[in-house]
Each structure stands twice: as C-alpha cells, then as structure tokens.
Amino acid sequence: MRATVMYGAGDVRVETVPDARLVEPTDALVRVTRACICGSDLWPYNAMKPSDAGNRMGHEFIGLVEAVGSDVRTVKKGDLVVAPFAWSDGTCEFCQRGLQTSCLHGGWWGGTELDGGQGEAVRIPQADGTLFALPVGPDHTLMPSLLTLSDVMGTGHHAALSAQVGPGKIAAVVGDGAVGLCGVIAARRLGAERIIILGRHPDRIALAKDFGATDVVSERGDAGIERVKELTGGLGAHSVLECVGHGEAMLTAVSIARAGGAVGRVGVPQDTTLPNAQPTFYANLTIAGGPAPVRAYMEELLPDVLEGRIQPGRVFDQVTNIEGVPDGYRAMNERKSIKVMIEF
Ligand SMILES: [Zn+2]
C-alpha cells in the first residue's frame, strides 16, 4: 500500500510499504477514505533529524472498517469510522475519566512501529476504545467537518474548556491556524461574549470572523499584548486559548489573561519552561490544557456538525490525493494553505 514516510526535515515521501493487517485480536483494519496534514506535522517537518528508517506520518483520518479481530465488539466490517489522533482502550482509569490521551494501554499513530493516517490503510490497536462509528456514508457532504473531529475541532474545544470559556466571558485565541480557527468555533459554541483572534493572515482572519471572532489583533509581541489590554478595559481576557506552541505565543497568552483567568494550551510546547512564572503566580492564573482527549468529545460535537451548527471543515482550503502529500506539506509550511485534506 502507499503511505507517507518522513525521513528528516523537509524530506517527506510517499512510498510503497507493507500492507496494514490485523495483528492482535483487539485490532481493526481500516481502509482510509479521508485524511489530512496537521500543523503539528510541521514541527518535525522543520526539525526532524535524518533517519534511515523514517517515520510513518498522519494521525487524522476517516475510513471504512475492512476487518476486525476476534475480540472487537463495537465496530464491524463496513462501518465508517473516525479515528482520534491517539488510540486508547476506552476502559482504563484515565479513559473512564475522559482523558484518553493518557490511556494506560494507548499510544500515538505512526512512527516506526505503527501505520499512520496519511496512507491507504491503518491497523487500529484497541479498536473498541479508539474508533468512533459515524452515522453517514463515506461520500457525505459533511465529510470535511467530520474529519476535524479526529483532531482540530476536538482540540479547539479542549482549548476552550481548559480556558474556562463560558457565557459573558471574553475569550482570546492565540494563533490563526486550523486549531485556532476551531478554537473560535468552540469559544462561540460555549457562549463567549467576545472573541479576540490574534493572527494576521487575511484569509484566516476572514474565516475567524465567519466563525464568530468579534475582534482582530494583528500586532505581535508587546504591541499585540497592549492591543488586547486596550480592547478589554486594561484587564485582559478571561479565557485565553493558546493554539500555537512556541515560546512567543505562550508568552503572549499568559500576558493577555486577566487576573484569575485561565489559559488553555493545546499547541505542542516547543520550549521546556513556561514564561513569566512570577507574574502568572501573582495574577492567580490557571494554566491548563494538553493533548486533547478528542475521543471523549466526538459524541458531544457530532450533532452540531451533522445539523450544520458548526462548520469546522471550512478550515480545509486544499485537497490532494496520496501522491500529492509532499506538496501539501510544503504548502502548509509556506502558509499557502491553512490545512490540506487527502482524499483516497
Ligand atoms: Zn485507557
């Protein structure tokens, strides 16, 4: 089968690899129908050390179940399923608490051991806990929005929950990538009164406004922090969604939160320390967030997608096939595309 393999920074190839197959009785085999490239795939795309073995890529996908192991109960051959960006057993202490990204028997797609989502088929470990069956067919018009349940929409929702967004509050979203844009959707969905988007790409800002952003701050660094303060009566935002991950974004996030406010961070941190330890202490800030347990949010977000109340699939502005994946990485890395969808 054809699949995406990364061998080092800037070196993404589509190659013929061994066919995905069932190994454990708890596995399912999924034939991928849609997948996508993630902003977090760009971190290794810019920094991965050369590797002879290469890493299989992709962690967001929808597909048809082709076969299941003898212990699988909740999905069957022919089901259309969405996979969360981490696999999990659904039964351990953490899964039961809705924190599937900390599953004691779970893990991450791709690498050197497992299939990735940017390929024609995937072996799914712990299929009962991992897969979520969709009540539509594979050609449904809502497929792009349903695909975002595998990561970016659930991750934006996690940022908003972690930032304690609620009615009457001012939310600020740091980052205008696909996750930041979904964070805007999530903040509106949870009732934020105002939503400030920090970003400066015109196409993304336009989409953020469509999704519910009420204010735009395009300045960066100290000027951006000042602008948010001005917009919030000098106090800062109640809820800050950090959707980037690098140090400057995190510094901005903690600097624009008001005293007693919360920062929900979902950008993968590229630094080992948190900035501004003393000011955040004296301001009684809550700093929460982490890898989103998107599996836990699928059931809650699905009706809003199916009934058209949210349209997170609009973050996809480019579509390719499997052979076009390397160009897709390039387009996203050069910010020529917000998010690339792969159709099989
Ligand atoms: Zn678990």
Give per-residue pLDDT as tens, 81-90.
999 999 999 9
- For residue 177, the CA-to-ligand 1 centroid distance in Å is 29
Report the C-alpha gap between 344 and 270 in whole angstroms: 32
Q: Is the pLDDT of residue 340 over 90?
A: yes
Residue-averaged pLDDT of the chain: 97
Is residue 135 predicted with pLDDT exceeding 90? yes
Indicate if the pLDDT at residue 11 is higher than 90: yes
Kindly report the CA angle at 314 between 32 and 248, in degrees rounded to 5? 100
CA of 94 to the centre of ligand 1 (A): 6
Give me ligand 1 centre to Cα 264, in Å. 23
Ligand 1 centre and the CA of 257: distance in Å? Answer: 33
- Residue 98 CA to ligand 1 center (angstroms) comes to 9
Average pLDDT over residues 136-160: 96
- How far does the centroid of ligand 1 lie from the alpha carbon of residue 102, in Å? 7
DSSP β-bridge partners for residue 32: 63
| Distance from residue 185's CA to the centre of ligand 1 (Å) | 28
Q: How far is the CA of 97 from the centre of ligand 1 (A)?
A: 9
Rounded to the nearest whole angstrom, what is the distance from the C-alpha of residue 101 to the centroid of ligand 1?
A: 8
What would the pLDDT profile of 68-114 be if each residue is shown by its tens digit? 999 999 999 999 999 999 999 999 999 999 999 999 999 999 999 99
Q: Structure tokens of 167?
A: 């009615």
pLDDT tens digits, one per residue of 181-195: 999 999 999 999 999
Q: What's the confidence (pLDDT) of residue 127?
A: 98
Is the pLDDT score of 271 beyond 90? Answer: no
Q: Please compute the mean of the pLDDT values over residues 215-242 and round it to a whole number.
A: 97
Give 129 Cα–ligand 1 centroid separation in angstroms: 8
| Cβ-based burial of 256 (10 A; exposed 0-12, middle 13-18, buried ≥19) | buried
CA 307 to ligand 1 centroid distance, Å: 30
* pLDDT class of 204 with cuts at 50, 70, 90: very high
User: How remote is the CA of residue 131 from the centroid of ligand 1, in Å?
Assistant: 13
Give CA separation, 319 vs 40, 44, 276, 308, in Å: 18, 22, 40, 21
- pLDDT beyond 90 at 133: yes
CA angle 81, 245, 252 (to 5 degrees): 135
Report how far ligand 1's centroid is from the alpha carbon of 296 (Å).
11
Distance 116 CA to ligand 1 centre (A): 20
Please give the Cα distance from 300 to 18 (Å, whole number).
Answer: 36
Buried-state track 292-315, b at ≥16 Cβ within 10 A, e below 16:
bbbbbbbeebbebbeeeebbbbbb
pLDDT range class, residue 148, cuts 50, 70, 90? very high
Q: How far does residue 229's CA lie from ligand 1's centre (Å)?
A: 41
Work out the average pLDDT over 53-81: 98
Q: Which amino acid would we find at residue 306?
A: L
